[in-house]
Amino acid sequence: MRVLIALGGNAMTTTDGRARPGDQIAAVTVAMEPVADLVAAGYDVVLTHGNGPQVGNLLVKNELAASVVPPVPLDWCGAQTQGTIGFIVVNALERALAARGVRRRVAAVVTRTLVDAGDPGFARPTKPIGRYLPRDEAAVLVDHGETWEDRGERGWRRVVASPEPLEVLDAPAAAALLAAGFVVVANGGGGIPVVRSADGSIRGVEAVIDKDLGAALLGRALGAETLVIATDVDGAVLGYGTPEARQLDTVDVATLRGYAAEGHFASGSMGPKVEAACRFVERGGRRAVITSLTRIADAVRDHAGTTVLPADITREVAGHA
């Protein structure tokens, strides 16, 4: 069975979102344990990952150093995070597989994802990236022309353009590596956003694609049956942060979309995960699961977190807070 596992960028760092190298390696090392168990058990695993904290940090470095070295565009920063995160995921997974006596090669693919140059997302930044700052520090950067948003108790966060992913252009390369027996890491950070010019050529555009929406697209392109969206909470919660909070257990797409329309899932965090789970299932995936990093193996083998199924298979089963 082919499974696509999407690792959250925030879940691969620490709660302060600072993404120190040691924290990232430690978190990825832990995350690869259940992944290695699944590969060892014969599951056909594809990995993708977020890059929100990392691409935001890179952008800051880039801007601070602009007077010394030439700045690079945001899509280059995205490509660089695919390289770095892919590197630590490949190292950690190969190590975990070797510890289990499993001889499998792991490869990370630099992956471009097509977007529409006219996407309204370019005019209205929605994707939170980088570190959290207190309101007064964010206000200074807003005065310098950046867009920042109040993200609740953790503070303010910079937001950038996030167009809809239309096609994972390098999915065929990932498919060829899978067919050759590799475990594949692909479409990190939702893919490097690119547009197609009138002459057919491809060029990068400055944006950060939502990795969960990218994962839904990649999952279907590669024929995955199950999508697991692994993050830092156990599942999608109704009334999140209120005394009435209730985690969804098993839910069909139509019911889940209804809850989304009622505003239960925050934009830029749980909202796109819910949308990605719905799209994956609507486009032929068997099931999508939103759960925590520690429950990846349970989600694939059995049941964990919030499971989203096609409308004709299920109705909501009451969960717990």
Ligand X SMILES: Nc1ncnc2c1ncn2[C@@H]1O[C@H](COP(=O)(O)OP(=O)(O)O)[C@@H](O)[C@H]1O
Instruction: Find the distance separating the first CA and the last CA of the chain, reported in whole Å.
Output: 31
* Structure tokens belonging to residue 183: 């475990």
Site string for ligand CP, 29-48 (x = CB under 6 A): --------------------
Q: What is the 3-state secondary structure (H, E, C) of the chain?
A: CEEEEEECCCCCCCCCCCCCHHHHHHHHHHHHHHHHHHHHCCCEEEEEECCHHHHHHHHHHHHHCCCCCCCCCHHHHHHHHHHHHHHHHHHHHHHHHHHCCCCCCEEECCCEEECCCCCHHHCCCCEEEEEEECHHHHHHHHHCCCCEEECHHHCEEEEECCCCCCEECCHHHHHHHHHCCCEEECCHHHCEEEEECCCCCEEECCCCCCHHHHHHHHHHHCCCCEEEEEECCCCCEECCCCCCCEECCEEEHHHHHHHHHCCCCCCCCHHHHHHHHHHHHHCCCCEEEEEEHHHHHHHHHCCCCEEEECCCCCCCECCCC
In the complex, what is the shortest distance from the CB of residue 143 to ligand X, in angstroms, rounded to a whole number? 26
In the complex, what is the shortest distance from the CB of residue 218 to ligand CP, in angstroms, rounded to a whole number? 13
In the complex, what is the shortest distance from the CB of residue 237 to ligand X, in angstroms, rounded to a whole number? 4
Of the candidate residues 34, 50, 56, 130, the single one contacting ligand X (CB under 6 A): 50
Please tell me the number of Cα atoms within 13 Å of 219 on its side-chain side.
Answer: 35
| Marked catalytic residue, from 17, 50, 211, 285 | 211
Minimum CB distance to ligand CP smaller for 125 or for 319: 125
Residue 189 in the binding site for ligand CP (CB under 6 A): yes
Residue 5 in the binding site for ligand X (CB under 6 A): no
| Marked catalytic residue, from 121, 127, 214, 235 | 127
Site string for ligand X, 173-212 (x = CB under 6 A): ----------------------------------------
- Cα separation, 218 vs 167, in Å, equals 8
Q: Which residue is nearest to ligand CP (CB)?
A: 9
Minimum CB distance to ligand X smaller for 97 or for 219: 219
Of 32-40, 118-126, 163-171, 227-235: span binding ligand X (CB under 6 A): 227-235
Per partner kind, with CB cut-offs from 5 to 8 A, the member of ligand X, ligand CP, none near residue 11 is ligand X
Residue 210 in the binding site for ligand CP (CB under 6 A): yes
In the complex, what is the shortest distance from the CB of residue 97 to ligand CP, in angstroms, rounded to a whole number? 25
In the complex, what is the shortest distance from the CB of residue 170 to ligand CP, in angstroms, rounded to a whole number? 16
Of the candidate residues 17, 19, 48, 52, the single one contacting ligand CP (CB under 6 A): 52
Of the candidate residues 183, 236, 281, 304, the single one contacting ligand X (CB under 6 A): 236
61 classed as catalytic? no
Known catalytic residues are 9-10, 127, 211, 273
Residues that bind ligand CP (CB under 6 A): 8-10, 50-52, 189-190, 208, 210-211
